Amino acid sequence: MGELVAQLRDDRLVDGDGVGHRAGGEEDDEAEQADGERAAAAAPAGRPRQGHPGGQPGRHPGHRHAQERLVVAACELLERKCPRQPWARVQRARLAQEVEPAHAGAHGQQDERETGDHPAGVSAVRRLVVAAVVCAWLVAGLYGVASYGHNYYVYRGYDPPHDPAHVAGGRLVTARFYSPALHARRSYLLYLPPGYSPRTRYPVLYLLHGAPGWPRELLDVANLGVDLDVAMAHGGLRPFLLVLVDGRDGSYRSDTEWADTPHGRYESVVLDTVRAVDARWPTLPDRADRAIGGNSEGAFGAMNIALHHLRDFGTVESWSGYFRADRSGPFAHASAAQLRAYSPVAYVGGMARRLRRLPLHAFLYVGMADADRGLSTTFAKQLHAAGAAVRYSEYPGRHSWRLWRDTAPAALAFAGRWFGR
């Protein structure tokens, strides 16, 4: 401010003396003086001109211009003392406040939420929804796969057994007993025919499952229970009991060959089952009213057990069976004599005398695409030559549940036909 006061004082002195500096405003003074002379010439005659005795007394003609120069100098000095950028920022801020909406703060906060927290929250919710949908889809898919796998494992692709309308169904019972052969408690399944009565005695068909396999497959897959119900409803079959023997050894494959070997006495388990059934249920306990059969390995076991125990069984059925033991499974370390003892094709030729005393009715069939078809044909001829009443059939198909399911009614009819004879 000292500099400003000093400059103002200097300007006053210059103005008062009537002397101007050529460097600062000489050109302006000359221009102003020329303008004054032109204005005086244009003024009315009776009116005095500025700067002359007719004008304001005591004033120099350049006095007004000196004041203007004083203002300009003050502005220049202020600009040197105060930088322009802060002033510009103040002006811009003031302009922004004038243009800014009334609720600018609220809008700013909302914009921050929309561009910050809000999209993040929406994204998190979307991720959770997508994850839940994916999890639900995976669970449903896994459940569908598991359900299909379970149904196929139990029913082999067929529908669960179901009696037709107006056909009375039988009843399935699980019974347990002690087996001296295995020194353990065992079980079997018993299918009681429609109209079963404990006061009536019934013939019994014992069925042996294949390997790997289990007793209930013969009902769930081969459909034997429904076929028995339908045949009885149509009057073409007398009532009898179905006993499904359990020959499993605790392993998945349960490859016992239904034989008495170091692996276990599974041929004797069948005989223990027969005695347990006769002791508990109203059966006809004689060979004429007792039949035995099975599929695959069960057929191999059924043929051996029937030929080994002709006093216990009068009828035997072989569904796609084989008739020679080989060195595998429980026979892996068997002697030649043991292999022969469980190879019907090897020993049936020496049974003619026994078969004449104890007649045997045999039903053998095989699929035309079965690998054991040739051996089955050979054995059927040998069994017939030894004196058994043999029915041998070949059906279209392979070694499969489809074949055994399709031929189940014929197998039941053959057993029912020969009961009591």
- State pLDDT tens for residues 101-122: 545 454 455 554 444 456 677 8
46: confidence class by pLDDT, cuts 50, 70, 90: very low
Average the pLDDT over each of 98-102, 182-186, 359-363 and give the range with the smallest value: 98-102
**What are the structural domain ranges in the chain?**
1-35+62-84, 123-155, 171-418
Evaluate whether 345 touches 324 at the Cβ level (below 8 Å): yes
Q: Which residues pair with 283 in a beta bridge?
A: 202
User: Residue 256: is its pLDDT beyond 90?
Assistant: yes
Evaluate whether 317 touches 411 at the Cβ level (below 8 Å): yes
Evaluate whether 368 touches 395 at the Cβ level (below 8 Å): yes
pLDDT mean over 353-364: 97
- DSSP class of residue 175 equals E
> What pLDDT is recorded for position 48?
40
Neighbours of 365 (CB within 10 A): 25
pLDDT mean over 266-289: 98
Half-sphere exposure of 305 (CA within 13 A, CB side): 35
Q: Helix %, strand %, coil % for the chain, to 5?
A: 50, 15, 35
> What pLDDT is recorded for position 69?
63
Per the listing, tokens 């009885």 go with 232
What b/e readout covers 307-334, taking b as 16+ CB neighbours within 10 angstroms? bbbbebbbbbbbbbbbbebeeebbbeeb
C-alpha–C-alpha distance, residues 27 and 166, integer Å: 132
87: confidence class by pLDDT, cuts 50, 70, 90: very low
- Angle subtended at Cα 314 by Cα 310 and Cα 316, rounded to the nearest 5 degrees: 95
For residue 416, CA distances in Å to 205, 218, 242, 373, 393 come to 9, 17, 11, 26, 18
Residue 160 exposed, middle or buried by CB count within 10 Å (0-12, 13-18, 19+): exposed
For residue 201, CA distances in Å to 69, 190, 286 come to 143, 14, 12
DSSP letters, 17-70, are HT---HHHHHHHHHHHHHHHHHHHHHS-TTSPPTTSTTS-TT--TTHHHHHHHH
> What pLDDT is recorded for position 76?
63
> What pLDDT is recorded for position 90?
42
> What pLDDT is recorded for position 164?
94
> What pLDDT is recorded for position 146?
77
> What pLDDT is recorded for position 77?
57
Greater model confidence, 11 or 334: 334
Kindly report the average pLDDT of the chain as a whole number: 81
144: confidence class by pLDDT, cuts 50, 70, 90: confident
Amino acid at 47: R
- The number of residues making up the chain comes to 421
Neighbours of 221 (CB within 10 A): 21
> What pLDDT is recorded for position 123?
86
The answer for residues whose C-beta is within 8 angstroms of residue 241's C-beta and 6 or more apart is 190, 191, 192, 193, 202, 203, 204, 205, 277, 281, 283
C-alpha–C-alpha distance, residues 164 and 24, integer Å: 126
The answer for residues whose C-beta is within 8 angstroms of residue 56's C-beta and 6 or more apart is 50
- DSSP class of residue 250 equals S
CATH assignment of 171-418, given 3.50.50.60, 3.40.50.1820, 3.30.310.80, 3.40.1280.10? 3.40.50.1820
Per the listing, tokens 């010439």 go with 41
pLDDT mean over 335-344: 97
Kindly report the pTM of this predicted structure: 0.69
